[in-house]
Each structure stands twice: as C-alpha cells, then as structure tokens.
Amino acid sequence: MPKKPLSELIKKNLLDIQYSKYLQYFNTCIILLFTYLIAVIIGFMTKQIHFNVTNEIIAVIVVSIPILSILLVLMSFSKKLMKVIFSLILNLV
C-alpha cells in the first residue's frame, strides 16, 4: 500500500472535520424543526391555541413562517456544503 503524503492526510482530516460540523448543523436544524412542530401541535391539542380565534392563528403563522423558513434554508445550505465537502474528500482518497 503506497504511502500518501502528509499534506493530503491533513487536508482529508480537515475536510472530515468540516463535514462533521455541517452534519451537526443539519441535525440540529432537524431537531429544532421537529421540536417546534411538536410544540405547536401540543398547543393546538391542549387548546392553548384556539382555531376559532383569528388573532392567535395569525400570531402562530407570523411566528412560524420565519422560524420554519430560516431552519429550512440552513438545512439546505448545510446539505449543499456537505455534498461539496464529500466530493472533495472522494477526490483526495
């Protein structure tokens, strides 16, 4: 088995660390997304948020849209960077 130069191993290790970082961001976004959705569902089930009251529904929508959009954008950004890093790792191997 041929030895790889040390610089390639260092590059691969640094890319592995970056990949792990973005994987952690992606997983955190998924956890936050499901936690928020479960909290809203529990709010409706326990009647803390009423379907009949228009102001409460509007407040939930106004709060939900930015939260969900930020989480989805961060998830897609992390996923895209993970693909790029993975392809770079494959090129080094």
Model confidence band, residue 4 (pLDDT cutoffs 50, 70, 90): low
8-65, pLDDT tens digit by residue? Answer: 888 889 999 999 999 999 999 999 999 999 999 999 999 998 888 889 899 999 999 9
* Three-state secondary structure of the chain: CCCCCHHHHHHHHHHHHHHHHHHHHHHHHHHHHHHHHHHHHHHHHCCCCCCCCHHHHHHHHHHHHHHHHHHHHHHHHHHHHHHHHHHHHHHHC
pTM above 0.75, yes or no: yes
The pair of structure tokens assigned to 18 is 């970056």
